[in-house]
Amino acid sequence: MTFYGTELSSRLMLGTAQYPSPDILAGAVRAAQAGVVTVSLRRESAGERAGQAFWSLISDLGVPVLPNTAGCHTPREAVTTAQMAREVFNTDWIKLEVIGEQDTLQPDVFGLVEAARILTEDGFKVFPYTTEDLVVAERLLRAGCEVLMPWGAPIGSGKGLNNVFGLRAMRAHFPDVPLVVDAGIGRPSHATQAMELGYDAVLINTAVAQAGDPVGMARAFRLAVESGLAAREADPMDERDMAAPSTPVLGLARFA
């Protein structure tokens, strides 16, 4: 899996928020064998350098970091946060979030495209959190994005893939663009489904962090992603509307 010319060790991307403890977070990242971890600038508190312990923990894991603009509601706020994140985390990668609706945390796709254009012109490698809308996807690609991250369902909902038709259409419409299902995945089976649809990676946070056993759940998601990828590469059978016997009828004994 390659994003912006960087090869990753895994197709599972893991968020770092809401874990019961730093030790459990570290254990989950290792169990997932995550290819990328996402981090929010808001964890780097300015007061008494309170975020330094967290940043030290993430650095020690040796996993590529994808900062995000979580909680931003305007292009200006997202751009400013991204610029600060580049200085703090020393990377030009940014997961771009511009939230437009508070209850569903649905992206503001108009602000998202505007912010993506500004950031790519500023040298950022943008990973936009978006919907499965094909027109919005086209606009983001024109703005300079080389990766798209459509949601499966609202953030933290655990509902899985709400619009399989839309996600399948996006994969078919952009066969050469790296696509990541981001948000809404609640179970390993959801991750497997996303990989079977042809998606290149999945990003998980809440489903692992809030599990009864985050480390065990991280391991389960790793296996689910591997299973979905293996199934896709093995070329699954097509669905049928009618039954088809698995045992050939020709050659069977007939009794009068």
**Sequence ranges of the binding site for 1-deoxy-D-xylulose 5-phosphate:** 156, 183-184, 205-206
What is the torsional sign of CA 235, 238, 243, 244? Answer: negative
Q: What is the DSSP letter of 238?
A: P
CB atoms inside a 10 Å sphere around CB 232: 15
Query: What's the helix, strand, coil split of the chain in %, to 5?
Result: 40, 15, 40
Binding-site entries = 156, 183-184, 205-206
Q: In 46-186, where do the E strands start and end?
A: 65-68, 93-96, 99-101, 106-107, 125-130, 149-150, 180-182
Active site residue 159: no
User: For residue 17, with 0-12 CB atoms within 10 Å meaning exposed, 13-18 middle and 19 or more buried, which class applies?
Assistant: middle
Q: What is the DSSP letter of 148?
A: B
CA angle 159, 178, 239 (to 5 degrees): 55
C-beta of residue 68 within 8 angstroms of C-beta of residue 95: yes
Catalytic residue among 95, 139, 190, 222: 95
Q: What one-letter code names the amino acid at 215?
A: V
Picking from 188, 69, 63, the residue whose alpha carbon sits closest to that of residue 129 is 69
Residues catalogued as catalytic? 95
